[in-house]
Structure 1
Amino acid sequence: MSNDTTLWEATDWVDTSQCLPSVGGATFLIVAYSAVIAIGLLGNAGLVFIITRQQELRNVTNILIANLSCSDILMCVVCLPVTVIYTLMDRWVLGEALCKVTPFVQCMSVTVSIFSLVLIALERHQLILHPTGWSPAAGHSYLAVGLTWLVGCFISLPFLSFNILTNDPFQNISLPSNPFRDHLICMELWPSDKHRLAYTTSLLIFQYCLPLLLVLLCYLRIFIRLRRRRDMLERSRRTRGAQRINIMLLAIVIAFALCWLPLNVFNTLFDWHHQALPDCQHDAVFSACHLTAMASTCINPVVYGFLNSNFQRELRTTLQRCQCGTRAGESYESFPLSTVGSEGITKATSLNRMGSVCVPSPRPEISSALLSKTLPANS
């Protein structure tokens, strides 16, 4: 990055620092971010706890859901509080370690989240379009989870290298009394603008556009396949269950895409034409876009958990610490949320000890689940 660019950024920062947020605006940011942190932490932690606590819930889809929740928890713990503090203050006071770690964690968390959504879509695509073919087991999902975190770390490494804590941009400002001389800011310092633009544009394509396009394509093919089976005899319960679960899974994808769209547009505009962003409204626009993106951390427990009656009952029984025998008479969903079979074969279902519908099988990874694999009727 050239000295002229650095000086322009410092001067621009000085101008924007004069536009301090109002008391009402600061209060709104604190309340809004606090609500997102509370809902994201409690909801995702509860979802992970219930999935890990119950052996019968540890199937492929739920393991990936828990992975998605873990990435959201990490975002709530590390990124959101730091963003609030840095936005409301006129300097960086959190040290060099957080200056490097915060953008690294945010990039890694987003990567893990979007790759988890891709894996869920691919698993359901394989199950419904190729039910007699290969299907992943729980052990495969743990391997996939590890790979998502490794890939996320690798993609986010540049932030550890090029995010620095410095006051150099303010040393050459010509003011009678320079109030910014001792201020520290956390900024990206790339070897050149070309390197920065290449990296941020690659993130936009491979971390947002292409994964979402692949996910939407998978669910489109699933929708077409299920629609073709409307006239089959077994569609009344089994296919309706599959369609409802797929709608829930697609809802989280669409919500994730909409939540992160404003921030991606803001970052792209800032990278390619930052002069278009007004000085005094820069922080307000960024805060609105970032808060919308962070709201995605609350969607997972709502869609996968609190909109699913089986999860609600499991949550209540967990909180009440009831014994298995006292839960046997509860009325769970009538359609199977986790069924495994093949073309031309209809497997009988039975009630497990939790009262939900499952397919008797010696394999634990295909036992009853909160949200899992549902086979359509025979074509």
Structure 2
Amino acid sequence: MCVEVWDSSKDRLYYTIVIMIIQYIIPLLILCFSNFYIGILVWIRKLPGENHPTRIKELDQEKRRTVKVLICVAVFYALSWLPLHVITVVASNNQQLMSQEYLQVHWMFSHWFAFTNCAVHPINYFVMDKNFRKKTMKLFRSPCCSYLNNTAEFQMHRLDTGC
């Protein structure tokens, strides 16, 4: 096992906290502030056709969906990266914990969970955004995916969803 050797355990803890601030807290704050700003812009923006009573309800639903997607992105980032940073801070404070087998399993799982953050975004968009879903399904019907288009399972899915 690879272990860092420090002159002082305080120095190791300070270093770990600084790394957590740089790699987790600052990006989380930037993500939250930028998503908050985008959410406000989406919410207050007046679109063409927004004065028609039939269109107002539809546009409000689209705005709510967009804000939900932005919130989900920030929340999932915070939740997916937090366990890794907590384990790192705790382990840097007490090196004996890292020799425990269960903590090594948690360490590996927290790395895996943190990296799933990137994989979840397309799923989040697919579930919450009708236009993204349509364009993704159109991509699978394109000539570059002709093998997939001809499979029975995909044909059944197209019949079920109307795509």
Alignment TM-score > 0.5, same fold: yes
Name 2:156's counterpart in structure 1: none
Alignment of 1:230-379 (within 5 A): 233=51, 235-275=56-96, 279-321=100-142
2:98 touches 2:104 (CA, 8 Å); kept in 1?
A: no
Instruction: Tell me whether 1:210 sits opposite 2:31 in the alignment.
Output: no
- Deviating above 6 A after TM superposition, structure 1's stretches of 4 or more consecutive aligned residues are none
Which one-letter code corresponds to 2:122 in the other structure?
Answer: P
- Give a deviation string over 1:149-208, Cα, whole Å, max 9, x none: xxxxxxxxxxxxxxxxxxxxxxxxxxxxxxxxxxxx544456765654443211211221
Distance 1:252 1:221, change over 3 A: closer
Which one-letter code corresponds to 1:204 in the other structure?
Answer: M
Unaligned residue ranges in structure 2 (runs of 5+):
144-163
Distance 1:224 1:262, change over 3 A: same
Distance 1:188 1:273, change over 3 A: closer
1:200 to 16, 41, 56: 16
Which one-letter code corresponds to 2:24 in the other structure?
Answer: Y
| Counterparts of 2:136 and 2:60, CA distance in 1 | 26
- Shift of the alpha carbon at 1:298? 2.0
Name 1:41's counterpart in structure 2: none
| TM-score normalised by the chain length of structure 1 | 0.30
| Counterparts of 1:319 and 1:224, CA distance in 2 | 34
Alignment length, in residue pairs?
135
Unaligned residue ranges in structure 1 (runs of 5+):
1-184, 323-379
Which structure dedicates a bigger proportion of its chain to helix?
2
| Counterparts of 1:218 and 1:250, CA distance in 2 | 11
| Counterparts of 1:282 and 1:259, CA distance in 2 | 17
| TM-score normalised by the chain length of structure 2 | 0.62
Name 1:151's counterpart in structure 2: none
- Shift of the alpha carbon at 1:266? 0.3
